[in-house]
Amino acid sequence: MKQGNIKVALVGNPNAGKSTLFNALTGMRQKTGNFPGVTVEKKSGTFRIASANGHDDSHVTLVDLPGTYSIYPKSRDEVVVMDILANPKHPDFPDVVVIVADASNLQRNLLLFTEINDLGIPSVLALNMLDVAESMNLTVNAVQLAMQLHVPVVRINARTGEGIKSLKEAVKQITERTEKPVLQYFYEPKENEIGLINEVREIHQLDNDYVALQYVCQHDNFSFLEQPVRAKLDALIEKYGFDENNFLANETVARYEKIKPIVSKAVKSEGAIEPPYWTRKLDSILLHRVWGYVTFAIVLLIVFQAIFAWASYPMDMIDAGTAAAIEWVKGALPEGVLNDLLTDGIMAGIGGIIIFIPQIAILFALVAILEESGYMARVMVIMDKLMRRFGLNGRSVVPLISGVACAVPAIMTTRSISSRYERLLTILVTPLMSCSARLPIYAILIAVVVPETKVLGIFNVQGLVLFGLYLLGLLGALGSAWLLSLFIPRKEPSYFMLEMPSYKLPRWGHVGYTMYESVKSFVLEAGKVIMAISIILWVLASYGPGDNMNVAEQQVVASMNAAPQAQIDAAVASARLESSYAGQFGRFIEPVIKPIGYDWKIGIALLASFAAREVFVGTMATIYSISGDTEDVLTVKQRLIQEKNPETGGQMFTPAVCYSLLIFYVFAMMCMSTIAVVYRETHGWKWPMIQLAYLTVLAYVSAFVVYQVLS
């Protein structure tokens, strides 16, 4: 076999510790992307295996395949496993497969192992969670296991890194083998299957019986087979009268019959087998009919208090720092267009991005902790019956909760929902969950309109209003799901069946990494858009068609010649903005947004934020720093409070306007990336367009009602 560059794939049951092992092997050398041709997220990384002489180190590319109980996919992202393993021409086809098995539940974990083994790809079995097995009174004899399975078996502890070196060594030894050992099938094809297998093998030039059987059972999932080829396979199935369902059940039972004696020889149990003590204790509380919901509510409340109360300290510092920096640059550089572009355009835009880093970091860290600890699975259980009433599934909870961070990855996590119908409903309503991009908008408007007082001594009123907005988003999501379920017919039964992982302490390194990644992608991805739009907007707001802006300025100066200089300056700035390109644009759409309480300035921000919601605050910063008096630098919040309504002379951002804006952003689908990901996930424009239409109507009508009632 080849040396130097080795491709390794990681497979295993969900909760067997696959991603922990992936991290232990690759450390920080990871990258995420998509598998070629499909939208399933692909995590890959590299590591090195040192050679004895120190010169011929092997470079390994490790690909993490989606967790699965068997090679027969039950959901969309599991399809990718066999799409790669049955296709030696696939760029990710591995030289070696590392199968991670949970030693505390070996019998079930070995089912997947025997299937992969029968495909004929060289494999190593990594026995993980031996400590859990021990706490359950189980001892696993790895040597005995290796002898019976005819593959290298390595004892590892993915959390502590124990055994990682031996695992690398085992991978290396396999690649150095000079001849391929004779494959020992765990499943022997039945008499009536042999004819079909031989014919498929001949047509497709396969050297393996079990791969041929996979062509028979899974060809509709294989992206590398053309339609006529699939039709031919269907004809063969017809010809031999092959009953797939029957075969699958028989195969699985036959495999377990081979596995049982192996496990009983290799695993010794002393006393009763029981899941870890703490898992049982915690479950009795967290799944309790009363305490289960109480704890869930407390957990959510803590999350929101953290985002709002704890994050406010670093945010205030960043806010003050940005204002000071802008002031310093304004003074240090000569006055002029360049100075304005740098301070009012670029720096104001950057300030609008970095201020949200603390909130995003805290949010992603908390969501990661909930997932890592095993608590998220319990939430699915206690929410399933409720979710079912709205046409959803307990599993929809994860996309919905992730939607609080960002709808794009959240919609991608819906692939684990096996029912297509429930998956579609979840996709359609997930954007209603208030994502982190809405947080900046909520934060600034709440800061303007809600007093900073406390109730019951601990709860910050601003935090409670924020909690209310998130709740409104959730209710909107559930209500819409219910309404949509009345119109979209359900074609298939719904499943739940979910493994409850034992509770674990979160791996702090992993939590930190998730936090770092999310902040990085926010600053780089969202930041790019915000920056670009800030600059474009600054240009559009600073220049106008022809000589309009100067004409407007002269008119104001002429009409106000007796007024104090500061007042004239402010009026001039405002008149100039109004006659700029951006101002005219805002004026153009004003009739549409007037009924919900917005003026042309908010209109500009609204339009700009269609690219991405988080642009709203940056846009407001740009617009108001251009129109405002430039003598002293104010924060966006102060500018909004000071903004006057030209018609009434009172505050522009009255509670009616603020709440109308808040409600609008709770419901509106103001995000191009979400539309793009829904298009990708539903394979067409139909659903994203339906979604955009119903959410826009919902947002506009709700904002209208709120504004009219409050004003």
Partner 1 sequence: MNLNKERMSARTVSHLKKGEKGIIKSFTDRTMSLKLLEMGCLPGCEVRLDAIAPFGDPICINVGGHYSLSLRLNEAAVIELE
Return residues touching partner 1 (CB under 8 A): 69-70, 72, 74, 104-105, 107-108, 111, 136, 245, 248-249, 252-253, 256, 272-275, 279-280, 283-284, 287-290, 292-293, 377, 380-382, 384-386, 394, 495-500, 502
Half-sphere exposure of 496 (CA within 13 A, CB side): 17
Tokens standing for residue 84: 């790669």
Please identify, using beta-carbon distances, which residue of 260 and 520 lies nearer to partner 1. Answer: 260
Q: What is the 3-state secondary structure (H, E, C) of 254-300?
A: HHHHHHHHHHHHHEEECCCCCCCHHHHHHHHHHCCCCHHHHHHHHHH
Determine how β-strand 123-128 pairs with β-strand 153-155.
parallel
Please identify, using beta-carbon distances, which residue of 78 and 578 lies nearer to partner 1. Answer: 78
Please identify, using beta-carbon distances, which residue of 104 and 542 lies nearer to partner 1. Answer: 104
Residue 335 CB coordination number (10 Å):
10
Measured from the CB of residue 105, what is the shortest distance to partner 1 in angstroms? 4
Amino acid at 70: S
Q: Is 389 exposed, middle or buried (0-12, 13-18, 19+ CB in 10 A)?
A: exposed
Measured from the CB of residue 69, what is the shortest distance to partner 1 in angstroms? 4
Task: Determine contact, residues 405/436, Cβ cutoff 8 Å.
Answer: yes
Rounded distance between C-alpha atoms, residue 103 and residue 248, angstroms: 25
Rounded distance between C-alpha atoms, residue 53 and residue 64, angstroms: 30
Which of 607, 580, 579 is CA-nearest to residue 592? 607
Please identify, using beta-carbon distances, which residue of 296 and 610 lies nearer to partner 1. Answer: 296
Amino acid at 38: V
Helix (H) or strand (E) holding 83: helix 79-85
Measured from the CB of residue 406, what is the shortest distance to partner 1 in angstroms? 27
Query: Cα dihedral sign for 350, 353, 356, 357?
Result: negative
Please identify, using beta-carbon distances, which residue of 259 and 326 lies nearer to partner 1. Answer: 259
Task: Determine contact, residues 680/621, Cβ cutoff 8 Å.
Answer: no
Measured from the CB of residue 378, what is the shortest distance to partner 1 in angstroms? 9
Please identify, using beta-carbon distances, which residue of 13 and 619 lies nearer to partner 1. Answer: 13
Please identify, using beta-carbon distances, which residue of 338 and 386 lies nearer to partner 1. Answer: 386
Measured from the CB of residue 259, what is the shortest distance to partner 1 in angstroms? 10
Measured from the CB of residue 220, what is the shortest distance to partner 1 in angstroms? 16
Tokens standing for residue 70: 């068997």
Please identify, using beta-carbon distances, which residue of 3 and 137 lies nearer to partner 1. Answer: 137
Please identify, using beta-carbon distances, which residue of 500 and 589 lies nearer to partner 1. Answer: 500
Measured from the CB of residue 397, what is the shortest distance to partner 1 in angstroms? 13
Which residue's structure tokens are 């902790």?
A: 369
Please identify, using beta-carbon distances, which residue of 351 and 374 lies nearer to partner 1. Answer: 374
Measured from the CB of residue 111, what is the shortest distance to partner 1 in angstroms? 6
- DSSP label at residue 35: -
Rounded distance between C-alpha atoms, residue 457 and residue 334, angstroms: 50
Measured from the CB of residue 479, what is the shortest distance to partner 1 in angstroms? 20
Please identify, using beta-carbon distances, which residue of 152 and 292 lies nearer to partner 1. Answer: 292
Measured from the CB of residue 502, what is the shortest distance to partner 1 in angstroms? 8
Please identify, using beta-carbon distances, which residue of 269 and 711 lies nearer to partner 1. Answer: 269
Which of 307, 524, 311, 508 is CA-nearest to residue 405? 307
- DSSP label at residue 63: E
Measured from the CB of residue 269, what is the shortest distance to partner 1 in angstroms? 8
Cα dihedral 144, 145, 151, 153, rounded to 10, equals -100
Which of 145, 37, 141, 26 is CA-nearest to residue 84? 37
Rounded distance between C-alpha atoms, residue 158 and residue 709, angstroms: 58
Distances (CA, A) of 51 to 3, 59, 173: 11, 11, 11
Measured from the CB of residue 151, what is the shortest distance to partner 1 in angstroms? 21
Centroid of chain to Cα 512: 16
Which residue's structure tokens are 């009536």?
A: 192
